[in-house]
């Protein structure tokens, strides 16, 4: 794994950004693989009717897997609502 930030300071170069982007994309893909393998529901296990994504601490979409993209449209709003709800509890 590469160390961020780069030697030049806080701004990663294009190669570092591409590496990090691909790492996060692979995390989202692997989430889908694990979900599919561990599921009991036929909708998930056989039809692969799910989507996986990585969000930052503020609920912003960072990376997504290409499982079923129609689900991804609702994820950012859902995450924002969850973050607001959690902040209200703390």
Closest CA to 86 of 55, 64, 63, 62: 55
Per-residue pLDDT of 4-33, as tens digits, reads: 555 667 788 899 999 999 999 999 999 999
Element (H, E) at 53: strand 53-55
pTM: 0.71
Structure confidence at residue 90 as a pLDDT band (50, 70, 90)? low
Return the pLDDT at 1. 46
Per-residue pLDDT of 35-88, as tens digits, reads: 999 999 998 888 888 889 999 988 898 998 887 767 778 888 899 899 999 998
Closest CA to 32 of 49, 52, 54: 52
């Amino acid at each position: 794994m590469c160390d961020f930030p780069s030697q030049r300071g806080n701004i990663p170069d294009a190669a570092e950004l591409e590496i990090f982007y691909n790492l996060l994309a692979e995390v989202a893909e692997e989430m889908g693989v694990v979900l599919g393998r561990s599921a009991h529901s036929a909708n998930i296990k056989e039809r692969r009717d799910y989507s996986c994504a990585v969000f930052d601490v503020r609920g912003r979409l960072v990376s997504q897997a290409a499982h079923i993209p129609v689900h991804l449209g609702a994820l950012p709003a859902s995450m924002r609502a969850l973050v607001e709800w959690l902040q209200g509890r703390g």
